[in-house]
Amino acid sequence: MSPWDRRGTVAGMTADYRARRQALRDTARAAEADVDAVLITNLTNIRYLTGFTGSNAALWVDLADTAEREASTVIATDGRYRTQVGEQVPDLRAHLARAAARGLVEATEPGTRRLGYESHVVTVDEHRSLQAAAEHIELVRLPGLVEKLREVKDEDEIRALHAACAAADAALAQLIDDGGLRPGRTEREVGRELEFLMFAHGAEAVSFETIVAAGPNSAVPHHRPTRAVLRAGDFVKLDFGAVVDGYHSDMTRTYVLGTPAHWQREIYELVQRAQEAGRAALAPDMPAAAVDAAARSLIDDAGYGELFAHGLGHGVGLEIHEAPGIGAGASGSIPGSAVVTVEPGVYLAGRGGVRIEDTLVVRAGGPELLTMTPRELTAI
Amino acid sequence: MSPWDRRGTVAGMTADYRARRQALRDTARAAEADVDAVLITNLTNIRYLTGFTGSNAALWVDLADTAEREASTVIATDGRYRTQVGEQVPDLRAHLARAAARGLVEATEPGTRRLGYESHVVTVDEHRSLQAAAEHIELVRLPGLVEKLREVKDEDEIRALHAACAAADAALAQLIDDGGLRPGRTEREVGRELEFLMFAHGAEAVSFETIVAAGPNSAVPHHRPTRAVLRAGDFVKLDFGAVVDGYHSDMTRTYVLGTPAHWQREIYELVQRAQEAGRAALAPDMPAAAVDAAARSLIDDAGYGELFAHGLGHGVGLEIHEAPGIGAGASGSIPGSAVVTVEPGVYLAGRGGVRIEDTLVVRAGGPELLTMTPRELTAI
C-alpha cells in the first residue's frame, strides 16, 4: 500500500478536486475582482482543492476562460515532497521550490496582471516578499473564498465525517461498558483511555486534546485534563473527537457519577432542552443568529443566560473549527449540507457544568445526526 | 490542584517572565525602530513572555524608560479566559476583548506614536484592521524579535527539555525491552505503543505524529506510519518526541530487525560518523552553516551527498521547530545555551534509509546531550 493510502481519498473514492477548483474559479469571478489567477497558500485549502497533504505548498489557480486553465494551474512544494505530490496530485503540474508561493509568482507567465491572494492568511512579510518577486503584478485581496466553499460538504466528505463520528461514539460506548468512568480515576487517565479507544475504533488522529472535566472543573468551558480525581456525585464532562480521512468529529457528553442531585438534574434538563431546540432550528439558509437564539432563549428564560458565555456551535470538516460560526453575533446563514455542531452549556462556577454537543448535517428534511451517543441524563 | 497546575510553571518554578519582557524591550530598542511599544500576537511568544496558554491573546509591551513600563504592559484575551489569565499572569493588567489585538490598539493611550508589531505573524487583513482601529498610530515592522530571544534557553527551560527527552528515552527503552519492535507488527501499531509509553513516562503530549518507517519506507524522510508490516532484515526508523511543561524533545533512532546486511552497515556507520562530527562541531557562536558542513562533508566524501537532502538540525523548545536552523544555507550562528537537534540521514530509495538524531544543549565546554538512547548499530 502506498504510504499515503488514507490521504487524498475518502472511503476509497478520490474526491472531485477538479470540480472544487472550478467552483473556486466561479466564486473568484463572482467576486468581481477582475483577477487572472488566484494564489492559494492555506494548506488546508490546498488539501481541499488538490488532495495534497504536505507541510509546504502553494497553488496557482488559473482563471482563464479557456480549456487550458487546468493545464496552467500549478501546485508548488519543495523537494522533500517530490514523490508525494506526484502520487497525490497526478492531475496538476508540480513546481519544486523551497519558498513555494514565491517560486510560483517568480515563474509567472508575463500575461498575468492581477493576482488574487488569501489576505486572511498571507502575513505582511510574505506579502512584501511576493510583491518583490513580481513587481509588475497587482496583488488583490480575496479573503475566505475557499473557506466559503468548504462550508457545503459533498457526500464523500459527509461519509468521512460519519466515520469520524462513529469512531468517537464507539470509543465512548466502550469506555463506559468497560467501567472506565468511575470514581478514583484521574481526568488524565480517562482522557488517555478515551483517545486510545478512538484509535482502536479507526481514528487516524484525535480532533483536539480530549477534555475530561470532573466536579467543579466541569464548570470551566475549556478545561484541560489534570490529575484531579473523579469523585462520587461529580458531573464528568467529556468533549472529544476523532479524525478519519482528514475529517473531524466533535461531541460532548456530561454524566453524573451516582445519583444526580436536584441542581444537577435541573441544569442538565435545561441544557438538554436547549440543545434539542437548537438542533430543531437547523435548516438550510437559516440565519445562524436565529439558530443560536432558538437554544439560548430557553437558557435566558431560565435565568442562566450569563452562564452560557460561548457560541452555540461551529462548522466542522478538515478543521475542527471552520465556517459557519453559530453565535448571537453571527451575521450569515447556514447553507444546506453544512456540517455543524450544536453545543449549549450552563456552568455554575465552583460547582459544576453541563454541555451537550452533537455534530449534524443540515438537510432540507431536518438535520441528520452524525453523533449517535444517547443524550439522556445518565447516572454511572 | 489548579486546572493549570502544569502550565506557566517549569519543574515547580515560575519562569522569570518579567526578565524576558525586559529582554524584549532591550532588543526592540537595539533595533533602532524608535517605537513606544511592541504588540505581540504570536501565541507561543505570548506564552514565553507571560506564561499564558489560552488560544486567544495579544500582549502590549510598553517600552517607556520609566519604572511604570510594567504597569502599562497589558495582556488581552476574551471572556472565556477571565479566570485563567488571572491565575497564569497575576503580574500584568488584563484587558478583555474578543478581538484581543484590536482591543489593545483601540484602548491605546493617546501618547503612543509608533507601535512595533510582528510582521511575520500578522496577516494583511489583520494589519488593515489594526490600522483602522488607531489611525494616528504608525505601525512598524519588527519581525522575529521574540523568536531570537527564545534561541537562548535559561536553566528552567533546559530542565523541562531534559524531562521531555528523558520521557522519550524511557519510552523507547521500554518498547524494545517489551519486544514491541518485531517482525509482523504494523508501523501504526508500533507508533501508537511508543506514544502510549511516552504518556506513561510523563509526557503531557507528543511533539508530533510519531514516525515509524520500515523497510523501503525508511528511505522516505517524512514518512507517516501506515499499515505496512515490519519484516526481518528491515531497517526501522523511529522519529518521535515528548512534551513536558510545554517543551518538546526530538530524537530519531534506526534499528535493523535481524542481522544487518553489508549495505545497511555501511550507510549506518557513515551516518553515525557524520552525526558525531556534527555534534562535535557544536560550540557557542559557531556559524550554523559550518556545523552543517562538519557532518555533511563526510556524507559528501562517501558519495552519498545527494541522498542527504535536508538540513542537519533545528532549534527545539516551546515549538518542535524553532530558530536557529542548521543547514547548508543558514546565515546565522548558534548561540550558547541554544538547544538544537543534529540529525543527518542517508536514504536509498526503494531500499531503506538511516537517520540518527539527538537533542543537545550548546555549551562552552562541549555540547550537553539531552537524549541518551545509545546510537550504536543495534540488531533487534
| Residues A134 and A228 both lie in one domain | no
CB contact under 8 A, A119 and B124: yes
Q: Which of chain B's residues have a Cβ under 8 Å away from the Cβ of A122?
A: 123-124
Under the banding of pLDDT at 50, 70 and 90, the label for residue A9 is very low
pLDDT computed for residue A134 by the predictor: 86
Of B119, B150, B181, the residue that ends a domain is B150
Structural domain containing residue A61: 10-150
CB contact under 8 A, A1 and B196: no
How many residue pairs from chains A and B have C-beta atoms closer than 8 A?
Answer: 79
Pick among A7, A117, A124 to test the B interface (most B CBs inside 10 A): A124
If contacts are CB pairs under 8 Å, which of residues 70-129 in chain A contact chain B? 79-80, 83, 119-125, 127
**In a domain? residue B117:** yes
| Residues A166 and A137 both lie in one domain | no
CB contact under 8 A, A1 and B127: no
CB contact under 8 A, A217 and B3: yes
Q: Which of chain A's residues have a Cβ under 8 Å away from the Cβ of B54?
A: 222
CB contact under 8 A, B119 and A120: no
Q: Does A248 touch chain B (CB under 8 A)?
A: no
CB contact under 8 A, A122 and B127: no
Residue B109 has pLDDT above 80, yes or no: no
| Residues B176 and B85 both lie in one domain | no
**Dihedrals phi, psi of A299, to nearest 5 degrees:** -70, -40
Number of domains in chain A: 2
**In a domain? residue A307:** yes
B170-189 pLDDT, tens digit per residue, is 999 999 999 999 999 999 99
Q: Which residues contact A304 (CB under 8 A, 6 or more apart)?
A: A267, A270, A346
pLDDT computed for residue A79 by the predictor: 84
| Residues B264 and B339 both lie in one domain | yes
DSSP letters of A127-156?
Answer: HHHHHHH-TTSEEEE-TTHHHHHHTS--HH
| Residues A356 and A215 both lie in one domain | yes
Of B120, B150, B180, the residue that ends a domain is B150
What is the torsion angle, in degrees rounded to the nearest 10, for the CA atoms of residue B317, residue B320, residue B321 and residue B323? 0
Cis-peptide, bond into residue B324, ω within 30° of zero: yes
Contact A345, A298 (CB under 8 A): no
Mapped onto helix, strand or coil, the DSSP state of residue B164 is helix
From A74-78, B305-309, B349-353, the region with the lowest mean pLDDT:
B305-309
ipTM of this complex: 0.85
Residue B73 has pLDDT above 80, yes or no: yes
| Residues B48 and B164 both lie in one domain | no
Which CATH number does the domain housing residue B15 bear?
Answer: 3.40.350.10
Tell me the three cell numbers of residue B135.
489611525
pLDDT computed for residue B230 by the predictor: 96
Q: Does B217 touch chain A (CB under 8 A)?
A: yes
**In a domain? residue B110:** yes
CB contact under 8 A, B122 and A119: no
Closest CA to B169 of B373, B320, B330, B16: B373
pLDDT computed for residue A239 by the predictor: 97
| Residues B137 and B174 both lie in one domain | no
The conformation of residue B163, written as its DSSP 8-state character, comes to: H
Nearest chain A residue to B120 by CA: give it: A125
| Residues B183 and B324 both lie in one domain | yes
**In a domain? residue A374:** no
| Residues A306 and A215 both lie in one domain | yes
**In a domain? residue A379:** no
Residue A170 has pLDDT above 90, yes or no: yes
A113-145 pLDDT, tens digit per residue, is 999 999 999 999 999 999 999 888 999 999 999
| Residues A194 and A129 both lie in one domain | no
Q: Which of chain A's residues have a Cβ under 8 Å away from the Cβ of B209?
A: 205
Which CATH number does the domain housing residue B278 bear?
Answer: 3.90.230.10
Of A150, A179, A210, the residue that ends a domain is A150
The conformation of residue A79, written as its DSSP 8-state character, comes to: G
Q: Which residues contact B105 (CB under 8 A, 6 or more apart)?
A: B39, B115, B130, B133, B134, B137
How far apart CA B28 and CA B37 sit, in angstroms, is 9
CB contact under 8 A, A5 and B227: yes
**In a domain? residue B374:** no
A195-250 pLDDT, tens digit per residue, is 999 999 999 889 998 999 999 999 988 788 888 999 999 999 999 999 999 999 99
> pTM for the complete prediction?
0.87
| Å between A179 CA and nearest CA of chain B | 20
> Burial level of B24, CB count in 10 A (0-12/13-18/19+)?
buried
> Burial level of A6, CB count in 10 A (0-12/13-18/19+)?
middle
> Which of B79, B143, B217 has its CB closest to that of A125?
B143
Residue B12 has pLDDT above 70, yes or no: no
pLDDT computed for residue B171 by the predictor: 98
**In a domain? residue B90:** yes
Q: Which of chain B's residues have a Cβ under 8 Å away from the Cβ of A127?
A: 124
Pick among A42, A56, A123 to test the B interface (most B CBs inside 10 A): A123
| Residues A174 and A122 both lie in one domain | no
**In a domain? residue A375:** no
| Residues A145 and A59 both lie in one domain | yes
